[in-house]
């Protein structure tokens, strides 16, 4: 049984989502939070498997609530559900530990599948949102790209992935955003480690950030 906490300040929408989820025997709605503070508190109390988090809520928004929940309970999956497909919200939610991002026009079956997949550890990014993330990653100055290419002889794709690494994206998030297989993503990242003379992600990111800030 997957225990789900809903966080949405709009009661009608939250009740509607609850009704949808309760049609699935594998999901139990443990509670409903009306703002970010309550989402954090109820997560502490109920220890849900998945939090279905709205972005724009009073008192504490969903991005900050996601960050606080993941700090205290890294095992809890946070799936962002919102009407807003703004790139800044997408990036902030993902970078603060969200397992994925869904729009509220998602079908009932897709929502249920997304919760199951998030519970299993998958990253949930619909195609148009993945494109937004990839586009945002590409919207960097030529100066940063040139610095990386000159210093490490990166290919265009390696530059793109290197910048995403510096922004804190995980391997799965990079693969999903750029429509790569997990294996291909890992191969690119390994090449970045090798070209930067690094043994691990932290060392590679540290070197690249120092270069970009110089």
Domain at 199, CATH number: 1.10.10.10
Condensed to tens digits (0 to 9), the pLDDT of residues 85-109 reads 666 677 777 778 888 888 888 899 9
Give the percent of the chain with pLDDT over 70: 93
pLDDT average, residue stretch 79-83: 83
Q: Is residue 130 part of a domain?
A: no
Do 118 and 147 fall within a single domain? no
Higher pLDDT, 143 or 162: 162
Q: Is residue 206 part of a domain?
A: yes
Do 102 and 174 fall within a single domain? no
Q: Is residue 26 part of a domain?
A: yes
CATH number at 39 reads: 3.40.50.2300
Higher pLDDT, 17 or 97: 17
Q: Is residue 134 part of a domain?
A: no
Do 13 and 116 fall within a single domain? yes
Residue numbers of the domain that contains 171: 140-213
Strand-strand pairing, 50-53 and 77-82: parallel
**Nearest-5° Cα angle at 176, 172 to 182:** 50
Assigned token pair, 167: 């922004």
Is the whole-model pTM more than 0.85?
Answer: no
φ/ψ of 169, rounded to 5, equals -70, 145
Q: How many domains does the chain have?
A: 2
């Amino acid at each position: 049984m997957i225990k789900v906490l809903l966080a949405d300040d709009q009661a009608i929408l939250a009740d509607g989502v609850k009704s949808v989820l309760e049609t699935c025997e594998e999901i139990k709605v443990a509670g409903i939070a009306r703002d970010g503070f309550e989402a954090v508190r109820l997560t502490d109390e109920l220890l849900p498997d998945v939090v279905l988090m709205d972005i724009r809520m009073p008192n504490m928004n969903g991005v900050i609530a996601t960050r606080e929940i993941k700090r205290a309970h890294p095992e809890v999956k946070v799936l962002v559900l919102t009407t807003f497909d703004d790139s800044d919200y997408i990036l902030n939610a993902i970078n603060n530990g969200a397992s994925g991002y869904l729009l509220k026009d998602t079908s009932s079956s897709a929502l249920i599948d997304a919760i199951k997949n998030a519970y299993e550890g998958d990253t949930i990014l619909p195609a148009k949102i993945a494109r937004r993330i990839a586009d945002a990653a590409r919207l960097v100055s030529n100066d940063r790209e040139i610095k990386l290419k000159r210093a490490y002889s990166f290919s265009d794709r390696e530059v793109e992935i290197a910048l995403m690494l510096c922004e804190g994206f995980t391997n799965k998030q990079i693969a999903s955003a750029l429509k790569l297989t997990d294996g291909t993503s890992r191969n690119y990242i390994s090449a970045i480690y090798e070209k930067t003379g690094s043994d691990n992600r932290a060392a590679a990111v540290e070197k690249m950030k120092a270069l970009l800030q110089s």
